[in-house]
Amino acid sequence: MAKKGTIMVVSGELDRVHTAFLIATGFAALGVEMKMWFVLWGHNCLKKRRGLFARRRKPVPDREGTYRNLDTDNLLQPMVELINRGGADHLPLSRLNLMGLGPALFRKMMKKKNIPTLKELIADADELGVKFILCQICIDALGLSVDDLIVPHVEVQGVAAYMKDTMEAHVNLFI
């Protein structure tokens, strides 16, 4: 029986997300079947960065309608999206953010030490077969689309699927 692991990523902060991907790629490299669950602000690392005034595309009912109730979408969702644009290269630090200077210094220090960037870790995790799963409730509440993510094959599932995965997992982490 293959070993399995789950990591729930709740935080959208660079240091925490970076750690989650380091752990996931480490386990995947050892042959552990890893699933990363993204809830609340955790999905920010997977989002494509949009310009401040980028036009939002209209949701495609055949695509988004399978995991999102488009009838209940409202004006608050694009407003939250405008404020919370995300992107792996634009995440804050949990401490010492220093109005954006902290993450730049953090990335510079990591580059000097040849530590992979968050984007590289995401690509490595994808290549190693780590499964990326977004919380269905978060997708619906925030009005997100899987087409706006940098990883092409993200699944959208609910809490019951997460519970099943954690019961089958040998390792379960919450970051």
Query: Which tens digits make up the pLDDT trace of 123-162?
Result: 999 999 999 999 888 887 777 777 777 888 888 888 899 9
Is pLDDT of 55 > 90? no
Highest mean pLDDT: which range of 9-18, 29-38, 131-140, 148-157: 29-38
CB 103 within 8 A of CB 18: no
Per the domain annotation, does 154 fall within a domain?
A: yes
Mean pLDDT of 25-49: 89
Helices 14-29 and 101-112, packing angle to 10 deg: 30
- Count how many domains the chain has: 1
**Which one is predicted more confidently, 44 or 21?**
21
Provide the 3-class DSSP secondary structure of residue 125: helix
pTM of the predicted structure, to 2 decimals: 0.82
Per the domain annotation, does 166 fall within a domain?
A: yes
Which range marks the domain in which residue 36 is found?
A: 4-91+119-174
CATH of the domain at 41: 3.40.1260.10
Mean pLDDT of 63-74: 68
